[in-house]
């Protein structure tokens, strides 16, 4: 039986947390902006098409999402070459590519959660704020956002969890380079393929522990925030 090599165990854990933390922040910001924008626009021509595009990564296989990102950001695309010229390095097969993959696949969950949150806000309360001279930013800050805070927390947890567990798109666009782009899900896959069950179990347990305490911590904060 293969023993656990702790020097190989920690790099994927560190990178996964780094990717999940950054991508969850980015996707929550993007999801919040998109959901607020769509909820305030009302009905318009093409709205169904736009929302379908937003939700598409949820139903597409992650490998398809990864392939499309690879085509878009690869060295053979104009956009990929432009990004490479900005950073003097290709974005594919880097940890930044793992962040992009996580943001794309987590976006539909975050967007839908925030959209439901904004949809539950009583518009009369917002109108009351405007009637006393509050700006749109003040209405959002002091009325809309506090009322949607539980949805915001839920959206962040979903974004974090989806980013932490992302595998298919990440493998396509970031690869599985130990110490550089290897995350916990890809490390588990390689360990199982190599017959290294102890390492696979160690990473699996770490994933469970991180996810459990994340949900526990955020669940308690949500209860504290919503309890009168």
Q: What is the pLDDT of residue 64?
A: 93
Query: Which H or E run contains 69?
Result: helix 62-73
Tokens at residue 89, please? 């390095």
DSSP states of 85-152: HHHTS-STTSHHHHHHHHHHHHHHHHHHHHHHHHHTS-HHHHHHHHHTT--HHHHIIIIIHHHTHHHH
**How many structural domains compose the chain?**
1
Residues of the domain holding 146: 13-183
Residue 188 belongs to a domain: no
| φ, ψ at 37 (rounded to 5°) | -65, -45
Residue 2 belongs to a domain: no
Residue 141 belongs to a domain: yes
Question: What string of pLDDT tens digits covers the 228 residues of the chain?
Answer: 457 778 889 999 999 999 999 999 999 999 999 998 888 777 778 888 999 999 999 999 999 999 999 999 888 888 888 888 887 888 888 899 999 999 999 999 999 999 999 888 888 888 888 888 888 888 888 888 889 988 898 899 889 989 998 998 998 999 888 888 999 999 999 999 888 899 999 999 999 998 888 778 766 655 555 555
Residue 198 belongs to a domain: no
pTM: 0.86
DSSP letter assigned to residue 178: T
Query: Which H or E run contains 190?
Result: helix 184-193
Is the Cα dihedral 89, 93, 98, 103 positive or negative? Answer: positive
* Contact status, residue 55 vs residue 112, Cβ threshold 8 Å: yes
| φ, ψ at 44 (rounded to 5°) | -150, 160
Q: How far apart are the C-alpha atoms of 202 and 191, rounded to whole Å? A: 10
Q: What is the CATH number of the domain that holds 28?
A: 1.10.3720.10
Q: What is the pLDDT of residue 81?
A: 84
């Amino acid at each position: 039986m293969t023993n656990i090599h702790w020097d190989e165990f920690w790099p994927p854990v560190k990178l996964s947390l780094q990717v999940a933390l950054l991508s969850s922040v980015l996707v929550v910001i993007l999801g919040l902006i998109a959901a607020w924008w769509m909820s305030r626009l009302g009905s318009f021509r093409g709205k169904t098409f736009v929302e379908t595009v937003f939700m598409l990564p949820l139903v597409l296989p992650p490998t398809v999402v990864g392939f499309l990102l690879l085509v878009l950001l690869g060295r053979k695309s104009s956009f990929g070459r432009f990004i490479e010229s900005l950073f003097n390095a290709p974005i594919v097969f880097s940890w930044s590519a793992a962040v992009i993959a996580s943001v794309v696949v987590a976006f539909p969950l975050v967007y839908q959660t925030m959209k439901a949150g904004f949809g539950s806000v009583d518009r009369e309360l917002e109108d009351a704020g405007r009637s006393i001279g509050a700006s749109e930013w003040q209405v959002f800050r002091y009325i809309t956002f506090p009322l949607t805070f539980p949805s915001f927390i839920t959206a962040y947890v979903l974004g974090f969890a989806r980013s932490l567990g992302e595998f298919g798109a990440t493998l396509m666009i970031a690869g599985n380079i130990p110490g550089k782009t290897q995350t916990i899900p890809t490390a588990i896959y390689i360990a199982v393929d190599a017959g290294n069950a102890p390492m696979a179990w160690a990473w699996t347990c770490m994933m469970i522990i991180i996810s459990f305490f994340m949900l526990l911590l955020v669940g308690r904060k949500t209860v504290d925030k919503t309890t009168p």
